[in-house]
Chain A
């Protein structure tokens, strides 16, 4: 038998309640309101209206003072603060004028009510809302113009996020280098010159000996370098190695020297023998210096980049975080949902106590965001997917527990008594009357939760909970927008695919 609670008689809202006449006339109310906004309304026996106006007025004035103090933060005198804040942010002046309008309006409102206190003019409340809205605009630093003007500069970064695929592949690189030896200082016997090589990269110098630049600025020997068998269109760096083995890059006019070979892989350049602090004794006899032309060149076919591999690995991890959290969430919430179902727990005071206990617990857990839970679990179990799974599990269990229990509460009691009437026992009753009724909502809620968990698991990594969010946060901070774009693309694709899959499951089983 379905027991319907009787409808509570709704108390009719009566605008024309018995109201005693105003205590003061229009002038009295105006003067009271000039002294204290809202006081006139209170004297007109509209206590709640007056208190609302007074509270709003005080709040607005407080907020305005705070914003003005913040704008003119280096001034101390009240008058200076007012003048300076209006000058720096004219919008504050607009708000101040609006507050003045509100003040006058509240006085006018008081005179109206003093004449006839059964009226309900809403103008003053409308204006209070307007002033709050203006304050919100100022506090929120809302600036629609900036959205348009700054979007221009964000273009390149956004472009990289939107089309990051060049970062998905990489070319294997190899170091190409040609070395030539230089003798310093020159001796009577000429130092043998290097020869171009047929297959390998080569570098020859002319002359083959010389003197370094001096500390006082007098230039060293001008050396003509020629090279070949380098990779065309790829940067070549020139490095020196002094007689004691230290390496340093060739500079010209303060800049590092680098060059790009011709199409046939050859280049030629003139460089000045650089200055180097060498122990004086080492200058006596001839020493061997070396010049190296270095090139990091891409060779062979492109391969998947390290970032791409990481994204795929972490995406798999992310999906499994969402899956495991959903799974554990279901297991925890199933028993909880029975405790949180009022129709099953209202038998006596003890079960009702457990009902309220479970409900309260579920509500508390649910009201804390999974990201906060993730931070807590990162503290307990450390960084990684396990913390993320724990956080999402807890939140899922609470959310599903509530949804499941509501599904149990809303089942039709008819089939239960029909099955009981056949002489079935409790287990048979649950199996034949309860389960068929709760399966569709359970499946539906579970899929819904799985959707949420996959989405949440993508960002749980922002606080160290494992998954792709960790990479995304890291790359955004490193300004590696292409790599971040890869992660974003994979998140979007995964969520879209799983959305589609869950919609299909829902259509088939619910």
Chain B
């Protein structure tokens, strides 16, 4: 269970990205975080695996406060938390295989990894992960030769290599077209359902939120402004949207298939 308590993040330039945010995530949840660009979604996810150091608050994960970990302990915690990025963040010039294997770095002896000698078991595991995501035939291509959807699958395979108990997905489909977006989300859903991996995912599109989320939290200007179950989301009203997305928010399309469109651009 992940318990975030009174989490606050103030950047060096004085920007307050998160204000006293508290929520809980049960193991096996598919938690979707919604909110405008700049509302603190990315900061929240990065605080959990400490790519960003929170200013105040606790992040209790199975009783351990992630916010207090340093060095070896932090790395050991990180390797159990996979992360998927909007821009995929693959090493573009390395092969797909190397990118996937780099998911094992936290488990690999430094010297072995510097010389690129991963164990047979790791290689087997990597092939398995690629197969599971349907891109095993791309293994020896360079990462930048792949299409966007394929690159994101490599990103998921890399996270999968960590044997994660939790996956943080920072707008994993914001750079992809809607068809691919569903395909990627289905992969994440499968990991959530079949492997019992907790997923924390930030999303922009309302139909995706309604389709995949088991729980939803909403952020606005760093404040937690919404918490709801799947049923709550399905019954969400325009007023609640405006609470999260601001007055300019508009609902395109109709009803459940609607897509949230905001006047600001996509996330940086």
Contacts and interface: CB of A to CB of B under 8 A. Distances in A.
Interface of A: 1-4, 412, 414-415, 417-425, 427-428, 431-433, 436-437, 439-440
Contacts of A421: 49, 51, 78, 81-83, 168
A422 B102 contact: yes
B260 to A, nearest CB: 22
Contacts of B155: 418
B42 interface: yes
A428 B114 contact: yes
Given A417-B51, A433-B91, A1 B42 contact: yes
Contact of A418 (B52, B80, B83): B83
Given A415-B91, A425-B75, 19 more contacts: A1-B52, A1-B268, A415-B89, A417-B46, A420-B78, A421-B168, A422-B78, A422-B83, A423-B77, A423-B105, A423-B162, A424-B75, A425-B105, A431-B114, A432-B113, A436-B91, A436-B94, A437-B91, A440-B93
Contact of A420 (B51, B80, B87, B92): B51
B220 interface: no
A1 B75 CA distance: 19
B153 interface: no
A424 B102 contact: yes
B79 A422 contact: yes
A415 B90 contact: yes
A436 B93 CA distance: 7
Given A418-B90, A433-B91, A423 B79 contact: yes
Contacts of B52: 1
Contacts of B196: none
A451 B89 CA distance: 34
Contacts of B88: 414
Contacts of A1: 42-43, 46, 52, 268
A436 B85 CA distance: 19
Contacts of B76: 423
Interface in B54-113: 75-83, 85, 87-94, 98, 102-108, 110, 113
B105 A428 contact: yes
Contact of B268 (A4, A436, A440): A4
A412 B168 CA distance: 20
11 contacts: A1-B268, A4-B268, A414-B87, A421-B78, A423-B75, A423-B77, A424-B105, A428-B108, A431-B113, A432-B91, A432-B105
Interface string B142-169: 0000000000000100100110000010
A287 to B, nearest CB: 93
B78 A414 contact: no
Contacts of B168: 421
A82 B19 CA distance: 82
A424 B82 CA distance: 12
Nearest to B102: A432
B113 A428 contact: yes
Nearest to A435: B91
Interface string B184-208: 0000000000000000000000000
A415 B87 CA distance: 10
B158 A418 contact: yes
A417 B102 contact: no
Nearest to B15: A3
A425 B83 CA distance: 16
A500 B83 CA distance: 45
Contacts of A419: 91, 102, 105
B209 to A, nearest CB: 22
Contacts of A427: 110, 114
A417 B89 contact: yes
A423 B80 CA distance: 8
Contacts of B90: 415, 418
A423 B92 CA distance: 20
Nearest to B74: A423
Contacts of A433: 91
Contacts of A4: 268
Contacts of A415: 89-92
Given A421-B51, A425-B75, A437-B91, A414 B85 contact: yes
Nearest to B162: A422
Most buried by B among A2, A417, A424, A427: A424
Contacts of B114: 427-428, 431
A3 B12 CA distance: 13
Interface in B190-233: none
Nearest to A1: B42
A420 B88 CA distance: 14
Nearest to B267: A1
Contacts of B81: 421
Q: Which residue of A417, A421, A425, A432 has the most chain B CB atoms within 10 A of its CB atom?
A: A421
Nearest to B87: A414
Contact of A428 (B87, B93, B110): B110
A423 B91 contact: no
A191 B105 CA distance: 108
A427 B49 CA distance: 19
A490 B162 CA distance: 59
A436 B101 CA distance: 15
Contacts of A432: 91, 94, 98, 102, 105, 113
A108 to B, nearest CB: 54
A422 B93 contact: no
B51 to A, nearest CB: 5
A3 to B, nearest CB: 8
B210 to A, nearest CB: 27
Most buried by B among A415, A420, A425, A436: A415
Nearest to A418: B89
Contacts of A436: 91, 93-94
A1 B77 CA distance: 21
Contacts of A412: 89, 92
A157 B163 CA distance: 78
A298 B52 CA distance: 85
Which of B43, B77, B94, B102: most chain A CB closer than 10 A? B102
A279 B74 CA distance: 110
